[in-house]
Chains A and B, each alone.
Chain A
Amino acid sequence: MAIEIEEPSAGLSRVAVSETHGEDSPYFAGWKAYDEDPYDESKNPSGVIQMGLAENQVSFDLLEEYLEQHSEAANWGNGISGFRENALFQDYHGLKSFRKAMASFMEQIRGGRAKFDPDRVVLTAGATAANELLTFILADPGDALLVPTPYYPGFDRDLRWRTGVKIVPVHCNSSNNFQITPQALEAAYNRAEAMNIKVRGLLITNPSNPLGAAIDRPVLEEILNFITQKNIHLVSDEIYSGSVFSSSEFVSIAEILEAQNYKNSERVHIVYSLSKDLGLPGFRVGTIYSYNDKVVTTARRMSSFSLVSSQTQHLLASMLSDTKFTENYIKTNRERLRKRYESIIEGLRNAGIECLKGNAGLFCWMNLSPLLENPTREGELTLWNSILHEVKLNISPGSSCHCSEPGWFRVCFANMNQQTLEVALKRIHDFMEQTKIKKNLL
């Protein structure tokens, strides 16, 4: 994506006027169409259904129930010192009780197969801040991070905009279910070298957004070999780790490091957040977990620019230290997501649409390439436009995720209720029927 830099207007910086924030991509046009005509069961039943938002709305009742039973988490209890102490607390180390709760929550999500040290947990205002921060720490302006495609569109802004760091894509394709291969990694690295760009690290999202699938253990091991051999960093964004439908299917990079006694682990950093697993994007709770002491210290200092509200830390420390609550939450949330996933897959299959086999996340990766008039990016965008304006579904085109094969779309299923999902599936079904009829008539 070309970065257009105009003459800085009214004495602003190049960063301020560049387009690297990425907000002019078609990805956001869909949002606009939704905002102008949002679906509502009763008030606007023919409106656009938002399926481009990876939000988790399936388990709020569990959180609300917890809050009702533990009001002191939200109101500091009756002690005088509670509020003041909390209001004054701006230490970038973060509330110790919260870090402990976070570390323990992350362990539970991984079924106890990895241990996390609360003193290595650095808190940031969301994973957005965490990813940018790590980029500032691991790379200089002009350097690059390798990122496997397809990837979360927000990375274009988060990793590049203010940091001046480039993204070099690691191309993955459907021939092997979009898995990352050593060849693809080598190819990307060589491409960067040929352009005289210094690669500082590889950033993977595991489970993957937009694929909705966890990375296999052998692939993770290959990735570790690759980064060790090239002497670069590895950032593993595990923001969807609690959204894997079955605990046994997710392998965190932490487990692999533990299994090899943390050899060479100072090059590995994990990003996490409560935005997806707990469905709390508004609370801005992210974390960097690094096995590198210097990175932990620097990240902590840099987190001054994006600290988590102490009010929010207090609330979540209470919630996440309650292991009875967290165990039940993790299990129930997983189960509900799995059910949603199965119902969307079945619905799509009935409409004649196949998806990538997934096992995690809040979305599925749908293959509409058979419907493309032209197997090109333009063809994909044309199809996307019809789906947006005729079928009235806002889904995310693969091109916005830098997918190298046209025709794939990310479809979210956890940000609406079951009825709305069924309405969406019906619309897709009807659209497919009409398309078949049209094709037969041609």
Chain B
Amino acid sequence: MKLLSRKATCNSHGQDSSYFLGWQEYEKNPFHEVRNPAGIIQMGLAENQLSFDILESWLANNPDAAGFKRDGESIFRELALFQDYNGLPSFKNALVEFMAEIRGNKVRFDPNNLVLTAGATSANETLMFCLADPGEAFLLPTPYYPGFDRDLKWRTGVEIVPIHCSSSNGFQITGSALEEAYQQAQKRNLKVKGVLITNPSNPLGTTMSRDELNLLISFVAAKDIHLISDEIYSGTVFDSPSYISITEALMDRNLELTNVWDHVHIVYSLSKDLGLPGFRVGAIYSNNATVVAAATKMSSFGLVSSQTQYLLSVMLSDKKFTSNYITENQKRLKKRCDMLVSGLKNAGIGCLKSNAGLFCWVDMRHLLISKTFEAEMELWKKVLYEVGLNISPGSSCHCTEPGWFRVCFANMSEDTLNLSMQRIKSFVQSITTDGDSRNRRQTVRNSRRRSLTKWVFRLSSYDHEPER
């Protein structure tokens, strides 16, 4: 037969991982307040649905932006023909200003150093193509966003070597963990080209401390490698400690004229902060002219629709809108996070103390039958089938300690979030009070479900987007 390429037949797209089973179950039985109140609540989707009303009201007051009009005049033709990979200047200007505003205007960005891409998914892959050859490696702190396994490795042939972080210090990156990862790569004969961090972190929901940032900067400078800072959640910092972006950290150390300045690259997107994942708006920011030039040409393979660039250029140029949006959005995220944290606390479940993101990193180690990933999977399935919540198991994020789960809070209504907290509370109560008889019945149910699950795993490679 006409064979396909190795890329097409391998599994690096990552879609056969257990992560997707949860999605499948949710789609078969989705929660709905009225139509299906016993259904599965989706808590595995890092979407920001809290501030759409602010966007909708802006759209209602500014109909020209979506209507292809500028100053009342139609610019439809101009936009329809605009496919310049340098991007719409008015959009890039507005976007870099928005990025600066998110960083408290402590830093400034040059639109000429910005490359637009169809989402951060495209940005991250493009940076891999620019910075590493097939077979080379990037170091990533664990736990990390499951999608990276596909985005960074699939078509590029680049390897990921994990930097192991543990709960003993709140999953912070340490000097020894960095060194160990580097050595591990050497052992595997992999040339390390850089480190990729997500700050604020997915799935931890925390911002990096200045110490961590300084550690990273010194590390990449010493090894003469790159540092990619994926700052896709930078607008979701809702609590102290305040956000220190990589740019700020570099400037505070007066590193603007040094080599390391050229080796640091930022990834951004409007999918999380503005809640617009469908519009495919991502960006690479770099002070390295060669990287900008190469990435710009590569962006031909994933340009942002000019229709969308124009709409957002008008929206983000409205400073009244942006300052109100940023503040209000953060307020709402904090309220939601607090709700989730207290709801979980009420059920005797703790979380990593967080100050950003659209999710919490939840500690369910005490609910595991054993300190193993098998037990984590069992617990995850129980939560999925019995409690009716789809949450993300830490193993799918390559966490080295079993028992941690990522739980999203910004993609549903307050009532739904409250309901999910009630369900968890009942579940915890039931396992802790009714121990033995439940366990016996559970064992039978478990083994039936185990064989069903194995069958499902073997036959399905479920088709869905991995969610951040």
Contact = CB atoms under 8 A, between A and B. Distances in A.
Contacts of B193: 11, 13
Contact of B301 (A84, A132, A266, A294): A132
B226 A11 contact: yes
A304 B129 contact: no
A306 B465 contact: no
A88 B77 contact: no
Contacts of B300: 128, 157-158
Most A C-beta atoms less than 10 A away, residue of B80, B82, B311, B464: B80
Nearest to A299: B8
Given A74-B68, A294-B8, A162 B298 contact: yes
Contact of A140 (B6, B77, B81): B6
Interface in A283-307: 283-284, 292, 294-295, 297-298, 300-302, 304-307
B164 interface: no
A362 B461 CA distance: 43
A138 interface: yes
Interface string A18-51: 0001010000000000000000000000000000
Interface stretch (A90-98, A238-246, A250-258): A90-98
Contacts of A266: 1-2
A267 B132 CA distance: 33
Contacts of B306: 282-284
Interface residues of A, number: 80
Contacts of A10: 262-263, 288, 290
Given A10-B263, A75-B59, A16 B294 contact: yes
Contacts of B76: 60, 63-64, 67
B282 to A, nearest CB: 10
Given A57-B77, A282-B82, A308-B305, A125 B5 contact: no
B295 to A, nearest CB: 8
Interface in A148-189: 157-158, 161-162
Interface stretch (A217-225, A310-318, A421-429): A310-318
Contacts of B277: 87-88, 90
B33 to A, nearest CB: 14
B68 A136 contact: no
Interface stretch (B116-124, B167-175, B360-368): B116-124
Given A74-B68, A162-B298, A232-B2, A309 B304 contact: yes
A232 to B, nearest CB: 6
Given A11-B224, A12-B291, A305-B121, A311 B278 contact: yes
A282 B79 contact: yes
Given A87-B275, A282-B83, A294 B52 contact: no
Contacts of B297: 21, 23, 157
Nearest to A86: B278
Interface string B216-251: 000000001110000000000000000000000000
Give the bracket for the number of chain B residues in contact with chain A. 35 or more
A259 interface: no
A280 B121 contact: no
Contacts of B194: 11
Contact of A11 (B4, B225, B294, B461): B225
A86 B130 CA distance: 32
B80 A233 contact: no
Given A11-B226, A13-B130, A67-B76, A309 B305 contact: yes
B269 to A, nearest CB: 11
B434 interface: no
Contacts of A294: 4, 8
Contact of B81 (A57, A161, A200, A267): A57
Interface in B101-151: 118-119, 121-122, 125, 129-134, 136, 150-151
Nearest to A415: B81
A84 B463 contact: no
A139 interface: yes
Contacts of A23: 297
A315 B194 CA distance: 41
A63 B308 contact: no
B463 A63 contact: no
Contacts of B47: 88
Given A91-B465, A136-B8, A301-B13, 18 more contacts: A11-B225, A15-B133, A16-B131, A21-B297, A126-B303, A128-B300, A129-B302, A138-B4, A140-B5, A140-B6, A161-B298, A162-B129, A295-B4, A297-B463, A298-B8, A304-B151, A311-B308, A312-B305
Sort A-B residue pairs by CB-CB distance and give the 4 closest, nearest first: A310-B278, A282-B306, A309-B305, A306-B302
Interface of A: 8-17, 21, 23, 55, 57, 60, 63-64, 67, 71, 74-76, 80, 83-84, 86-93, 125-126, 128-129, 132, 136-141, 143, 157-158, 161-162, 200, 231-233, 266-267, 275, 279-284, 292, 294-295, 297-298, 300-302, 304-312, 315
19 contacts: A12-B130, A15-B130, A15-B133, A16-B131, A76-B66, A83-B52, A87-B55, A88-B47, A90-B119, A90-B278, A136-B155, A138-B5, A266-B2, A283-B80, A302-B13, A304-B121, A304-B150, A304-B465, A309-B308
